Structure 1
Amino acid sequence: MTNTDLVQVQRRQALTILRLNRPLALNALNLELIEVLTKALQQAFDDPEVRSIWLESAVEKAFCAGGDVKALVSALAHLNAEEQRRLGHRYFAAEYRLDAMIEHSPKPIVALGRGLVMGGGWGLFAGANVRLVDASSRFSMPELQIGLFPDVGAGHFLQKHHWRAGTLIGISGIHLTHDDVLALDYAHAQVGAEDVALLQAELASGKLPAELTLSPADARILEHRDAWLSALESLGEPVLSDWIAQVQASDFEPFKAAAVQWQTASSLSIAHTWHHFKRLREASRLTALQTDLVVASNLCSEPEFTEGVRALLIDKDKQPKWLYPAVENVPFNLIERFYQPLPFETARIEAPVQD
């Protein structure tokens, strides 16, 4: 085994195993971790003896708790607006290129999402060919609590199978259990430690992920799926204020959780995410990532984002001074401003090119 500071790389015959290893930060994606993981993936792509890749965490508590926005916002301080956008662009371009590498990997990838899979962590997980969870898995896109939006191409992967589910998850930031992500098709199967050992052995012997035998959804998951889809169908026409009112009046547990999240989330972020997801409903992952890059870079010069990170992650007073008290107060022209072209050349988010 080759052990780097941030990514552990293990070669087992035809399989390369990559383990995120930034435990004190719950594998939060800073620029260094992004670059190390990108390099490790590329090396696996280039090795003709490697047939498949396994992506997991070196620690059980979290697969990846998201992007390291605390470090990003600290670096944004005292810069002018254009410098803030440039710095944000550098960070997000590196992260989104990594997402694109996984989404369009020339070799099949299996991801095991143990523990917390949040924000940018879900972005990594979503691109894998086979997505596995265990009993500890907890998923969320919590960006609304810091004045941001669900990025990393979430406008694509959250809405891919059930747009109502994806939109609701995006505009609320609710936490999902392993049962939820299985019911909503965000993961393929639940596994235990013995299953992981068996699957890795099969991949090491040369079997491809598509050839693995995974346990199908049981009756409990199918019943949970029906409950989710029934609740989502009750939302009716896609009007944000109507959805919020209907969710707040529902007894469905995930809807009740959404209502709780809205009590502390940025109204600007909620309204923006609604607009953003509608805009990307039919988009590819690459198109979503390219759009996210412009928006996320622009938001680095917006006070809502820096204030949200300050309140939740830096000062930790949990008393953000949001710009708007309710979604009805958010001006549409402000949201449109986030999509304005950047005043410098924007990176292209593309699938990896192979010889």
Structure 2
Amino acid sequence: MKKLIFVFAFFAFSCGSDEDNYPIISGCTDSSSFNYDANANTDDGSCIPVLLGCTDPASFNYDANANTDDGSCGSVLLGCTDSSSFNYDANANTDDGSCIPVLLGCTDPTSINYDANANTDDGSCVDETTNSLIGTWVSVLQDSDDGDEGVNSLVLNADGTGSRRVLFPLSGELIYSDLTWSTAASVLTLDYEIDTENSVLNYTFTSDDTLQITDEEGDVNIAHRLNSDLVGSWSGVLTEDDGSQGQININFYDDSLGVEELVWPSDSSNEAITWMSTSTEITIFSNDSASDNLILGYTFIDINNVDVTIEGEFATTLTRN
């Protein structure tokens, strides 16, 4: 009995000493945490969750909140990051202040309207051949059916758009269409918006401001470029043989239309006109009647004053309003 008591006492003593050999070690005991401590045997609430990201401060996408590198670090790529800029770099991730704004214009050095400041071509380049045709061209047509004389006005703009208007004063017939145009090798192609067929015209310059045009049927016509210096509003004084005086007011529009007003002490008139010009003459066609055309000789005194003759005789000096 005494021996049994001794053995039990020895066993109890041994168990008590094991607890003394394993002290408490505080720390994070969650193995999924960033700061897991494999040596800790007592959790102290200090566990920090894993935050994935780039932990390299020199990288483009460095994440100061990340505590665990996930291999996503990217190198800094300098460049223009503004997608609306001329030199936008889709590969750049860090703007370096080099962005250049888009400047539209003609970038072809061989074009007459080349813009050395432009960095983005806007399709406005005009070659020498095209430039020679830009303007308003007017010619006289003859109706083969009734002999009515009509005026054909062709407006060719630098952007390839334009319009055509044919007016027959006697019948009052008016043909109008917007169009697009192009030229190559002395051939002018007109694409009318209201007609599915194009006009393909051969042309030859007989002077800088005069075209000889041959249509698809072989008919030849002469077209004159409007003198843009004449466009505007003009006024002058007319004197009759008996000494009475009146005033003439003319508006010349850049599409070959216009208005002519005559004011006399006892009478006045106001009518729409179509006009054309050569380097020395202005022909005025009445849009309201089949009256005779009025042909005026003209000479510029300066940009705002023009001497006008009728049948070779001085008529008046027109002054720009």
TM-score category by the smaller chain? under 0.3
Q: TM-score, normalised by structure 1?
A: 0.22
Larger relative contact order (C-alpha < 8 A, sep ≥ 6)?
1
If each structure's helix is expressed as a fraction of its own residues, which one has the higher value?
Answer: 1
* Structure having the higher Rg: 2
